[in-house]
Structure 1
């Protein structure tokens, strides 16, 4: 289900996420040109400036963001923008190259799955001096800090949940998923649904990404796989074997699609999306990604929170941010802009829900009356998830190769090329080596 990548990170996750902004009027700004923390109606100062800004997302986000930049230039005539935007994969392929050459744009979109890594590299500016009172909940701000400092302004409330095809489930007499279902109930639901579905349709998808298992491990009261900035590594073998043996049984019983079919899935593609294509009845979705699925299959999408264990399950918090490059030559103006992005009324109207549920509650209230059904599904995921949600656990800095290795080894399991035990041994060995390196041992 994964997070962070709407494309396929376990649910995930996480992808995804929000737009923002709010209570200020058209003349409101975020800084005074000195500290970058103006409390209200600022005026333009200094000579002409060009801010580079980089973000990922779908076309709707690109167009909305460009409109917001135009509004900022209208309000601050001395500031223009050099925008760069691309899809998720291309973004994270390009950013390391820019970081290596110290040429990251002044303002960049940042994700919870990667922000720690770029903070560790010294690539992001401390934004703790930006005044977010009345704009972002203080608890959200505090939860977004790394080492007591704020390196990204949260843009949205996001959550990981599960989307389901409520129309087909009802058609085949399968009970719809209910809030706060346990993992045992989730697995039994999948077994029961298999008995009622025709050949070629599957109740759930397979699980091969680290965050999908991390949801399970933490829900059972265990620590996350990675902690302390990667210095602690704990891949619980008993839970690992139990979780993946369940999916091994599911492959044999045709409860999940065969590996060959799963490898061809492409989320949000009308013909290749596992759920929109009618092949799988459920898949992971976040507040920011579920609207795209609803547009592919209008009126058919229901949502529920992630399965839970004794400690809860899933997550519900901010996962997408605007950050400022530590190498920016326009840090004060950049800080002023990122505050504006989450506080200006016109910006909020222009951005809509292209980054999910606005972090500024006043903006959300202003947008709510005009929302379409697909827009409200994201808020529904958040509302269903928040009660039992655990923190969002991202991969630690230096673990990107481990994340790729995890999926590669588990994909090999699904194709019958190696045992679960062998996969565990390789993944665990690499993780412990990285933890030792991070701890300087």
Structure 2
């Protein structure tokens, strides 16, 4: 009896071991024919099964520092996974978004690709991205963040970094002129009154805030007041609240007349992060919009002078704080399992985290950030400060829906005409609203 019991236990143990080995096999095995035969042969010869070599194609955009850091991370992955090599492509932002639609049309997008919140919904709607909901992100990404990123209940991009929209301000100049520093969770009413009060203390040629002509700025306002985002349900629903629109832009009309914001001609020449033309670094504006990722460039132009605060809020909150840059997997990839394994590794491996640093912003994984924090410069910590100030009241990030690119451009053009005094706010609203409603009806059909 004892001998039979021991033999039974041995067989059970062997079966469990084989089962666990099969369950934990990497993505490379999914591309290998005859896995069972290979496993049996390995068992018979007492040699490990060979994993088929896999080459993952991957593309991303960014500056040179990001390119070098990413290539280093890929080398680390290959050292840890000898069967996987990479075919990388990297380019600047404009070139990337010019090339990707062509790849999508021919269903030849790389196995892994960097994706942006402004475009991910569009590529999901085209069926180009793989559902990544089965990737285990527990302990790596806050579950609330994951929920905010889902599209129709599914996750199509693994978030890489913490990001948030806030406001940067010239704390040195504000203190010089005796102007109160912006405070966390200020309301829109407080923000507008702060601008009026600050203007009264500033010399001619300096302005407390800039003008507002982009759709996203108004969308911040509309959603903070408890209304739907301008675009929802993949563009099938369009809401441009006329009362809020008139209130918001009438305020800026008042500001143009009172010279609280710079004239349209001057504003048109602003170029963010340019030493001479940046609206704040040049000394013209005392505040401007900034994100976790962009504020470090401003701090480099104005070392020690930059303070940050979250976006103004309404009854429902305000601004956003979540990841806007992801790694996605192509729905047409032949190596989906290996690609999924890689993107999970990309945000969880500490060696990779050190290699990547802050080249994509504040790492989404808090453990990676802890490893990096002692080495960070003040410019880098400002980005984390924006996120920490914003996250309490943040709303989801709302990107333009697929098919609304021309509408976004039209919105800016019509509002620019308002700032130049070429048309009324109401006329601009009618044009913008009609175009949006027509696009929503088209999307719905």
Give the TM-score normalised by structure 2. Answer: 0.87
Which residue number corresponds to residue 138 of structure 1? 143
Does structure 2 retain, via aligned residues, the 8 Å contact 1:190–1:255? yes
Which residue number corresponds to residue 289 of structure 1? 294
How far the C-alpha of 1:45 sits from its partner, in A, is 6.2
Which residue number corresponds to residue 112 of structure 2? 107
Specify whether residues 45 and 265 from structure 1 end up closer, same or farther in structure 2 by C-alpha distance, changes over 3 A only. farther
Which residue number corresponds to residue 401 of structure 2? 396
Which residue number corresponds to residue 170 of structure 1? 175
User: Does 2:28 correspond to 1:33?
Assistant: yes
User: Does 2:198 correspond to 1:193?
Assistant: yes
**Structure 2: any 5+ residue segments left out of the alignment?**
1-23, 32-47
User: Does 2:432 correspond to 1:427?
Assistant: yes
How far the C-alpha of 1:93 sits from its partner, in A, is 2.8
How far the C-alpha of 1:34 sits from its partner, in A, is 5.2
Does structure 1 retain, via aligned residues, the 8 Å contact 2:230–2:240? yes
How far the C-alpha of 1:31 sits from its partner, in A, is 4.3
SS at match of 1:395: coil
Is the helix fraction higher in 1 or 2? 2
CA-to-aligned-CA distance 1:122-164 (integer Å, 9 cap, x gap): 1111112222222222222222221222110011121111011
How far apart, in 1, do the equivalents of 2:296 and 2:65 lie?
A: 12
Does structure 2 retain, via aligned residues, the 8 Å contact 1:162–1:284? yes
How far apart, in 1, do the equivalents of 2:67 and 2:305 lie?
A: 27
SS at match of 1:175: coil
Aligned mate of 1:338, from 326, 343, 368 = 343
Q: Stretches of 4+ moved more than 6 A in 1?
A: none
User: Does 2:300 correspond to 1:318?
Assistant: no
How far the C-alpha of 1:32 sits from its partner, in A, is 4.3
Which residue number corresponds to residue 375 of structure 1? 380
Q: What's the RMSD between the two structures over aligned residues?
A: 2.0
SS at match of 2:332: coil
Does structure 1 retain, via aligned residues, the 8 Å contact 2:403–2:439? yes
Tell me whether 247-256 or 170-179 shows the greater mean CA deviation. 247-256
CA-to-aligned-CA distance 1:8-49 (integer Å, 9 cap, x gap): xxxxxxxxxxxxxxxxxxxxx99443579xxxxxx9964443
Which residue number corresponds to residue 123 of structure 1? 128
Specify whether residues 273 and 143 from structure 1 end up closer, same or farther in structure 2 by C-alpha distance, changes over 3 A only. same
Tell me the matched-pair count.
Answer: 406
User: Does 2:71 correspond to 1:71?
Assistant: no
How far apart, in 1, do the equivalents of 2:111 and 2:295 lie?
A: 30
- Which structure has the bigger radius of gyration? 2
Specify whether residues 65 and 424 from structure 1 end up closer, same or farther in structure 2 by C-alpha distance, changes over 3 A only. same
Does structure 2 retain, via aligned residues, the 8 Å contact 1:274–1:280? yes
Which residue number corresponds to residue 272 of structure 1? 277
How far apart, in 1, do the equivalents of 2:208 and 2:412 lie?
A: 22
How far the C-alpha of 1:347 sits from its partner, in A, is 0.7
Does structure 1 retain, via aligned residues, the 8 Å contact 2:177–2:201? yes
Q: Write out aligned runs for 1:42-121 (5 A).
A: 46-121=51-126
**Structure 1: any 5+ residue segments left out of the alignment?**
1-28, 37-42
Specify whether residues 87 and 266 from structure 1 end up closer, same or farther in structure 2 by C-alpha distance, changes over 3 A only. farther
Specify whether residues 105 and 168 from structure 1 end up closer, same or farther in structure 2 by C-alpha distance, changes over 3 A only. same
Specify whether residues 254 and 93 from structure 1 end up closer, same or farther in structure 2 by C-alpha distance, changes over 3 A only. farther
Tell me whether 205-214 or 400-409 shows the greater mean CA deviation. 400-409
Specify whether residues 301 and 31 from structure 1 end up closer, same or farther in structure 2 by C-alpha distance, changes over 3 A only. farther
Does structure 1 retain, via aligned residues, the 8 Å contact 2:168–2:288? yes
How far apart, in 1, do the equivalents of 2:349 and 2:306 lie?
A: 32
Which residue number corresponds to residue 182 of structure 1? 187
Which residue number corresponds to residue 16 of structure 2? none
Which residue number corresponds to residue 39 of structure 2? none
Which residue number corresponds to residue 355 of structure 2? 350
